[in-house]
């Protein structure tokens, strides 16, 4: 990896941790802050994740573990509420790089794509529907809401990504580092109970 990509990753890591920005926008903003052309070669997500972990270990080691535990506890509560839709936790909260500024991403694998939305309506949960790019590159519906974390004493963004039930098979393929990219209720509960 060249030094410029590493510099972009280090700058983007600070943006991810301090501002809660997602990886893609953080990399683009970092390149812009460094005065690079819009076509500059950006680091891959693994390089940025490594930089985020390093930034957290240097600047947030005293606060991040408790913040991550609080976010995982909140994610588990929502996964339990939505268990009939086969929820899986993904993103920074699953991978362990989340801070209090991170949103929670839960992927639902539904037989009927509208059933999760109907459940939110029936339970009087305020949400905003939108369309986002899913984990395989296709467009999927996302239901975004705000949930209050007692431990963090602040509202947290929770995004429910709606996938077809059959998509769960491809969702569990290990990444290039051999990690499972998302976890089900049992896996998240194990992390919460272990205090992680």
What is the predicted pLDDT for the residue at 183?
95
Give me the pLDDT at residue 174, please. Answer: 82
Calpha distance 52→9 (Å, rounded)? 8
Between 3.30.930.10, 3.30.460.10, 3.90.1300.10, 3.10.270.10, what CATH number should domain 64-193 receive? 3.30.460.10
Domain ranges in the chain are: 3-59, 64-193
Rounded-to-integer distance, Cα 15 and Cα 150, Å = 25
| Residues contacting residue 174 through CB under 8 Å, at least 6 positions apart | 180, 181
Q: How many other C-beta atoms can be found within 10 angstroms of the C-beta atom of residue 34?
A: 14
Quick one: which H or E segment has residue 53?
Answer: helix 45-59
Q: How much is the pLDDT for 1?
A: 57
**Could you read off the pLDDT tens digit of each residue along the chain, which spans 196 residues?**
588 889 999 999 999 999 999 999 999 999 999 999 878 889 999 999 999 999 999 999 999 999 999 999 999 999 999 999 999 999 999 999 999 999 999 999 998 889 999 999 999 999 999 999 888 788 999 999 999 999 999 999 999 999 988 787 777 778 778 888 899 999 999 999 988 7
């Amino acid at each position: 990896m060249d030094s410029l990509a590493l510099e972009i990753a280090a700058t983007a890591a600070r943006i991810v941790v301090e501002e809660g920005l997602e990886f893609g926008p953080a990399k683009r903003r970092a390149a812009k802050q460094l005065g690079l052309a819009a076509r500059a070669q950006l680091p891959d997500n693994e390089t940025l994740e490594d930089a985020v972990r390093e930034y957290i270990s240097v600047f947030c080691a005293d606060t991040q573990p408790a913040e991550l535990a609080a976010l995982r506890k909140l994610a588990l509560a929502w996964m339990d509420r939505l268990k009939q839709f086969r929820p899986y936790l993904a993103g920074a909260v699953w991978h362990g790089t989340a801070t209090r500024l991170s949103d929670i991403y839960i992927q639902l694998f539904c037989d009927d794509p509208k059933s999760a939305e109907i459940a939110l309506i029936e339970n009087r949960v305020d949400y905003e529907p939108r369309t986002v790019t899913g984990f395989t590159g296709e467009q999927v519906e996302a239901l975004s809401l705000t949930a209050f974390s007692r431990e963090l004493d602040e509202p947290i963004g929770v995004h429910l990504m709606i996938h077809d039930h059959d998509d769960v098979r491809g969702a569990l393929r290990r990444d290039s580092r051999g990690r499972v990219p998302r976890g089900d209720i049992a896996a998240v509960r194990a992390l919460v109970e272990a205090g992680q």
